[in-house]
Amino acid sequence: MRLTGVLGVLCVVAAPALAGPVTYTFNLTSGSVALEVRGIGDPVTTSGSLGGTFAVVIYQSDCHIGPSDTFVLGTEGRDLGLTNTSTLVVSLAGLGTARIRSGSARFLDYRNPEGWVGHIPPGGCPVLTPTDLYLEATIFVTGITTTTFKIAQWAETFLPFNMAIQTSVERSDPFRACFGGTFRYETDLEGIVLTIDLVVAMEGTAHVVPDPALGGLTALGLGGAGAWLRRRR
């Protein structure tokens, strides 16, 4: 009877912790960024590779990620650690060349509208999320003029962001998340307003983390069992 009482308490204590938030940091397995610049002559484009990490908070249950679980992008702090891993070069209507050197464009944060929460559908199919990305970039311009200018800003628009989160079966399963979208930034270069579109696409992997309640439940269970055995002696 005493052991039954201990187990009953364990159930009451553990239940509120189920479906708690777990922060996942995904390591990129593939990533790309395309750059299109408008404002001088015809639009010009180029593309390169992207590397780093991104974070997602998933409200998982039962030690796995499944349909009806919810998620939010990012955490309180550094949500993104994405950077270009190759040099991006565009010609500005024959007037000069703009370069973003490797490591000079960094996506450091993302945000959604106040109160937004994503829902994982069956199979983790793609869902559209309204997202803004914070960009820091250093752009080197050579040609008729030689200058360096920097961008440190949000796109200031919540644009559709395609996202998919793979569901899982067991704790510690590897699973993946992928998403991408186009983000538009405007900046001034020597009195000329340049519109810069950055098309981001990435995929990363992580491992399922057991529910936060699991460790506490195990510890309490061992403690309760030990107390019961001592009383039985």
Q: pLDDT digit string (tens) for 13-64?
A: 333 344 578 888 899 999 999 988 887 777 888 999 999 999 998 888 777 7
191 domain residue, yes or no: yes
The domain of 140 spans 29-52+79-165+177-206
83 domain residue, yes or no: yes
132 domain residue, yes or no: yes
Q: Which of 148, 150, 147, 154 is nearest to 131 (CA)?
A: 154
Residue environment code for 118-157, b if the CB has 16+ CB neighbours within 10 A, otherwise e: bebeeebeebebebbbbbebbbbbeeeeeeeeebeeebee
12 domain residue, yes or no: no
In the predicted structure, residue 219 carries a pLDDT above the cut 60: no
Q: Residue 65 — very low, low, confident or very high, per pLDDT cuts 50/70/90? A: confident
- pLDDT recorded at residue 91: 84
For the chain, percent of residues with pLDDT exceeding 90: 21
- pLDDT recorded at residue 5: 35
In the predicted structure, residue 125 carries a pLDDT above the cut 80: no
44 domain residue, yes or no: yes
231 domain residue, yes or no: no
- pLDDT recorded at residue 34: 92
Tally of domains within the chain: 1
113 domain residue, yes or no: yes
> What does pLDDT average to over the chain?
77
- pLDDT recorded at residue 104: 93
In the predicted structure, residue 178 carries a pLDDT above the cut 80: yes
**Tokens found for residue 117:** 């929460």
Are 108 and 78 in contact by the 8 Å Cβ rule? The answer is: yes
What does pTM read for this prediction?
A: 0.75
Q: Residue 2 — very low, low, confident or very high, per pLDDT cuts 50/70/90? A: very low
In the predicted structure, residue 194 carries a pLDDT above the cut 50: yes
138 domain residue, yes or no: yes
Hey, which of 29-33, 92-96, 224-228 has the most confident mean pLDDT?
A: 29-33
- pLDDT recorded at residue 50: 94
Q: Which of 25, 2, 48, 59 is nearest to 213 (CA)?
A: 59
- pLDDT recorded at residue 6: 34
Q: pLDDT digit string (tens) for 138-152?
A: 988 888 778 888 889
Q: Which of 17, 18, 9 is nearest to 224 (CA)?
A: 9
